[in-house]
Structure 1
């Protein structure tokens, strides 16, 4: 099974994709200003237009953003250049099997990538992220919970239960905490919030 949507096509449309809200997800926006949350070099996994990576770089953190879409990567690179953020770099990569960053990142953020991956590609993603993580690294994952899309039965992002998330992530990571969280999306009718979870995991 391939990706559920054509990611690069989504970024080529005149209208920005709904997960691009023009700023970091509010859950992360609050976290990155909290002392001790962000440590060492940071990976923004599935960065898209990279508002999170750019916000982190503006706070002085060294950040790498990876995304499957070359269009998104080009836009993020241009935004970093326009903002004078030479501590943010971006590259195109298949996050379910990326290499070349072994042991590098002390903090990893996922702003809705895990729930967008087909079932059979999640394990490769979590394993690749683990390989790229430094010892003791912390991994934050924002993912949709049950009821995020009421009445929708077609293909779309996975809506996890807490137990499902714990089972999936703990195959490669030590899960420290899972708590309810809100994910925001920008729709034509305005900003909406959907239920989800914030996972905090570590590389033992």
Structure 2
């Protein structure tokens, strides 16, 4: 789908701002979230907001969690549904919708995941840098924050940025697979009350 500044679906169709797939979709769950899964930090039912190709949703479903992935882009949702079917994962379902107008699931989810979505809200403004204070202010209106700590989003940026791009990417440390480790925050919280 398209916002005034970013055509997210064209990115997932690999026709957008990047060469190849979206760099934040790395073919596996983001390592910070995979560590939470391994540590048993999720509780069913899970909402994966801005799931993209849904590697985390699929990993959760493979471990027995019931998961609903939501994304704005029909291309990402079609790919997630296809992969879930190929892997025989009946506990994962996917919905193409705008998270800011997502209804019909009130009270269902015990865990909500956002991996690279919050910085893109509101949708019309596109990606932006989010500070710890902004994150705390937004989330603490509805949740008790347990922790906010520095973390990383791993991305395959080298192949994604066209050689003739009108900008230069900042330099980031690479992980053991050669992906850039872009600074982020990992926030954990629980429902107040």
Common fold by TM > 0.5: yes
Q: Verify: 1:195 aligned to 2:183, yes or no.
A: yes
RMSD (CA atoms): 1.8
Mark the runs of 5 or more structure 1 residues left unpaired by the alignment.
Answer: 123-154
Residue in 1 that maps onto 2:24: 19
Counterpart mapping for 1:120-159 below 5 A: 157-159=127-129
1:203 positional shift: 1.5
Partner of 2:99, secondary structure, is coil
Q: Aligned equivalents of 1:54 and 1:74: distance in 2?
A: 13
Structure 1 pair 4/19, CA: closer, same or farther in 2 (3 Å)? Answer: farther
Whether the aligned pair in 2 keeps the contact of 1:3 and 1:117 (CA below 8 Å) is no
Higher relative contact order (CA 8 A, sep 6+): 2
How many residues align? The count is: 168
Q: Verify: 1:116 aligned to 2:117, yes or no.
A: no
Whether the aligned pair in 2 keeps the contact of 1:12 and 1:71 (CA below 8 Å) is yes
Whether the aligned pair in 1 keeps the contact of 2:120 and 2:128 (CA below 8 Å) is yes
Q: Aligned equivalents of 2:86 and 2:133: distance in 1?
A: 42
Residue in 1 that maps onto 2:173: none
Q: Verify: 1:31 aligned to 2:41, yes or no.
A: no
1:3 positional shift: 5.4
1:157 positional shift: 2.3
Structure 1 pair 104/3, CA: closer, same or farther in 2 (3 Å)? Answer: farther
Structure 1 pair 33/57, CA: closer, same or farther in 2 (3 Å)? Answer: same
Partner of 1:32, secondary structure, is helix
More deviation, 92-101/163-172 = 163-172
1:176 positional shift: 1.9
Mark the runs of 5 or more structure 2 residues left unpaired by the alignment.
Answer: 160-177
Q: Aligned equivalents of 1:182 and 1:53: distance in 2?
A: 19
Q: What TM-score, normalized by structure 1, do the two folds share?
A: 0.77
Whether the aligned pair in 1 keeps the contact of 2:119 and 2:128 (CA below 8 Å) is yes
Q: Aligned equivalents of 2:4 and 2:56: distance in 1?
A: 23
Q: What TM-score, normalized by structure 2, do the two folds share?
A: 0.81
1:56-99 per-position Cα deviation (integer Å, ceiling 9, x unaligned):
01111111101110111000000000001111111111101110
Partner of 1:104, secondary structure, is coil
